[in-house]
Structure 1
Amino acid sequence: MDTLLIEALQLLFPSQCLLCGRSYTPDIFPHHGGERWAPVPLCRTCLQELEQELLDQGQGCSICGSPLVSEQNICMSCRRHFPSLPSFRSNTPLFLYRGKAKELLRWYKFRNRRDLAPLFAYLFAQRVITPFGIQLTLVPVPFRSAGKRSRGWDPVETICRILSHHYGYNVAYLLKRRGNRQQKKMTAAERKVNMQKAIVMRRRRRHLSAESYYLIIDDVMTTGATLQACAATLRDNGAEKISATTIVVD
């Protein structure tokens, strides 16, 4: 649909902000070429408050990215979950899993608000991918097959498709997940066992370049078991320069 027509319709029929419920005329996200294409389902006040929740990149734990309190370099949670360094260099989260970011992610994942995907893609592009300053291969964490069938879509894959189609980034669907249980209610130890050998390459015996930079993308980092499993699989197939990014760290 033509952008001017979209704007005209939005003026005639204001939207309701997803978080506060107030009527508003939405902003429209630009992609890398400057063309505006996706309306933002939040009012400017909520957008500004959400922006205040964004984490300062490079200021937190060197593994998970969460803010440090009294620790140095590595938070206490990662010291427990990673007795040795993980297979990825570090995770760069956009938010902590609290406040408006938590509410927004729950709308996205559990209430099927796919119109939030452009917002998350935009933030990944501006806050994480562009600052790298190098050519990256984006690798989405694969969704459970049962979860995708029941939900009808893959939240992380949806964001990655936007990063590819509207921002021009290289996305490679290198990984797949073999049948394993949902992790949401598992303990840290159970998550670790559950993920062992659960992530495999889509193509067997695929050799990845040791010189390429790979950025794993997921929605949430909790214990890091999923990111570790993905990174270990990439490393087993030749990759050496591996980092990660998530919408939130919990």
Structure 2
Amino acid sequence: MVSVTVWNEFVHEREDEEVAEVYPDGIHAVLADFLADAGHDVRTATLDEDEHGLTEAVLGDTDVLLWWGHAAHDEVRDDVVDRVVERVHEGMGFVPLHSAHYSKPFKRLMGTSCSLKWREEGERERLWVVEPGHPVADGVGEAIELDRTEMYGERFDVPQPDALVFTSWFEGGEVFRSGCAYRRGAGRVFYFRPGHETYPIYRNEEIQRVIRNAVAWAAPGETVDVEFGNVDPRE
């Protein structure tokens, strides 16, 4: 069992009727439900909670943090971002989803703008598995077909991934690195692109499988004690 915190700014669902029809209880509720069904210990946190729901105690008890944000990236407090990044370096897994590419924690961990091209026209997407041996792709076929999505296109301004697990093709012709695995300090980061708020993508069983796999992969494993600081010479 993995201790998972699902963070969602929870803005669109309360302000946009179209989004509320797709995710009436919030995107975080759908994510939390299928992760709990997989046997994980799941809590949720949202932007308007005290310290955005990400207190030191909560993060200290979190193995993997999922992050969904879009409209309110700038409203996330910098001291909370510092706390998240520090926990990732200590070993907490971090799974930013879709437009969380622009979230403060992800940009801080990547050290780049994380910018990209985008277009929202409900285009078809084919999510190709390009690293079938990676644990995040476990149980997934050659590709996942999504009938209506928001297009994200290259260039995606992120560092070269340690492993590229998924590459998307869109009917408009663009391609995108949609499943990027990184290590940051002792922590693992997996960016996964699908999930625009006006499409029920997080109800797709294949997408749910990938996210479950990402949680399992990003969860901390056995740690090794490492000595830092001033030391006496060995010789």
TM-score (norm 2): 0.29
TM-score (norm 1): 0.27
Task: Specify the structure having the higher radius of gyration (Cα).
Answer: 1
Structure showing the higher helix proportion among its residues: 1
